[in-house]
Each structure stands twice: as structure tokens, then as C-alpha cells.
């Protein structure tokens, strides 16, 4: 039971068709990209005209995710060594590659920023984009539960409480919920023209 607000971003736990096997895809990060990305953050692809790279998706009421950031590797310019990290610090490194869970059918766990009512199940919601933790390399994205609606453009859909209807999370002050992408995924359905890399 979650009685304390301690958001951790998005954590892959399964797919709409079954369990999550831990798979991910690698995407490049621009060496000069200066925004911190932490484990559990929502990321998107960006086409800068010559290269498609990963960036943090800071959308709230709308987003165009490619998936969930699971860490990265890069050449640390201060040591010239290959480094692995749960976060992209925003410092200039080279050969950066992000590990991204990019399945559009992914199911993920998220903490809500308040009490979830029974009729919020099946509703869509906005993302609450709280600043990530550089100390722990962890996202702080959560569900903005005050925004639940049938609005089709909202980025996530609430599927259930973690543990189900009879589980400990139902009735919690800040429950952990099972969610999925609702719309806008760059490899899924519902992508508005121009949101995907190379789009017009």
C-alpha cells in the first residue's frame, strides 16, 4: 500500500498480450543534448535533419513517446572510458546510446499523485512531469489523477491497480497503477502526422 508520494516514473511490467521479457532497443543520443534523462522517463525520437536521436519527452496532456528510458552507455569525456549509467546527465559525452523499452503495447507501473477512484479505471490521463532525481538517476514522472477523462489525445490509459481490484493499492493515498500508452506512440496507432521522425 502506497501512503507516501514517491513517484518513480514508468516501469515496464508486461504487455497487453503477456509478460515483459526485458527487451529494449538502442537509440543514439546527441552528444550535445543537455537535458538530463533518468531511468523511467518518457523519451521520444527527434529528427534534426541529419540524425534521429532520443530526447526526453516532457509532454503532459499530449506526448509522442517512443518508449521508456532504461539507462544508457557513452564515452565519458573526462576519462575516455566506456560508461554505463541509469541516467544521461546532460553533460557532453560521445557515442551515447539510450536503452529504450519501445514496444507500443507495453504495460507499465506508475504512481498516481492522489487517490484513484473506481471510475478512473479505463480512463485516460495526463503525465505529471516532476523533476527527476540526479542523485538516484530516477524519474519522478507520475499520473496526474485530477485529469482523468475520456479525452482521446491524453497520453496514457489507466488499466488497473497493481495487484488488481482486491489488491493493497486500491484505497491507497498514492496508489501504484497499471497503465498503457493511449495515443501518440511513434511506432503505434494514433500518431498525429508530423509527430514521428521524418513526418511532414
End-to-end CA separation in angstroms for the chain: 46
The candidate with the shortest Cα–Cα distance to 29, out of 96, 84, 90, 81, is: 96
Residue ending a domain, among 101, 116, 148, is: 101
Q: What is the number of structural domains in the chain?
A: 2
Question: Which helix (DSSP H) or strand (DSSP E) does residue 74 occupy?
Answer: strand 67-76
Residues 97 and 109 in one domain: no
Residue 106 to residue 15: CA distance in whole angstroms? 4
- Give the number of C-alpha atoms closer than 13 A to the C-alpha of residue 87, restricted to the C-beta side: 19
Q: Say if CB 123 and CB 152 are below 8 A apart.
A: no
The candidate with the shortest Cα–Cα distance to 87, out of 12, 141, 37, is: 37
Domain around 57: 22-101
Q: Which three cell numbers stand for residue 197?
A: 521522425
Residues 97 and 61 in one domain: yes
pTM summary value:
0.90
Residues 174 and 112 in one domain: yes
Residue pLDDT tens, the chain, 200 long: 677 899 999 999 999 888 888 899 999 999 989 999 999 999 999 987 778 999 999 999 999 999 999 999 999 988 999 999 999 998 878 999 999 999 999 999 999 999 999 999 999 999 999 999 989 899 999 999 999 999 999 999 999 999 998 988 998 999 999 999 999 999 985 554 343 443 32
Residue 200 to residue 195: CA distance in whole angstroms? 8
Q: Is 197 exposed, middle or buried (0-12, 13-18, 19+ CB in 10 A)?
A: middle
Q: Identify whether 68 is part of a domain.
A: yes
Amino acid at each position: 500500500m502506497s501512503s507516501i508520494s514517491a513517484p518513480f516514473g514508468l516501469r515496464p511490467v508486461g504487455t497487453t498480450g503477456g509478460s515483459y521479457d526485458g527487451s529494449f532497443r538502442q537509440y543514439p543520443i546527441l552528444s550535445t543534448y543537455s537535458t538530463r534523462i533518468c531511468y523511467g522517463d518518457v523519451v521520444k525520437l527527434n529528427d534534426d535533419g541529419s540524425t534521429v536521436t532520443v530526447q526526453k519527452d516532457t509532454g503532459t496532456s499530449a506526448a509522442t513517446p517512443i518508449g521508456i528510458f532504461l539507462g544508457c552507455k557513452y564515452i565519458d569525456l573526462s576519462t575516455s572510458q566506456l560508461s554505463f549509467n541509469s541516467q544521461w546527465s546532460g553533460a557532453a559525452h560521445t557515442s551515447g546510446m539510450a536503452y529504450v523499452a519501445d514496444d507500443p503495447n507495453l504495460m507499465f507501473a506508475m504512481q498516481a499523485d492522489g487517490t484513484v477512484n473506481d471510475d478512473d479505471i479505463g480512463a485516460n490521463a495526463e503525465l505529471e512531469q516532476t523533476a527527476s532525481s540526479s542523485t538516484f538517476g530516477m524519474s519522478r514522472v507520475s499520473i496526474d489523477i485530477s485529469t482523468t477523462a475520456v479525452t482521446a489525445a491524453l497520453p496514457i490509459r489507466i488499466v488497473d491497480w497493481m495487484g488488481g481490484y482486491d489488491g493493497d493499492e486500491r484505497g491507497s493515498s498514492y496508489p501504484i497503477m497499471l497503465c498503457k500508452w493511449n495515443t501518440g506512440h511513434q511506432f503505434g496507432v494514433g500518431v498525429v502526422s508530423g509527430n514521428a521522425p521524418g513526418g511532414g
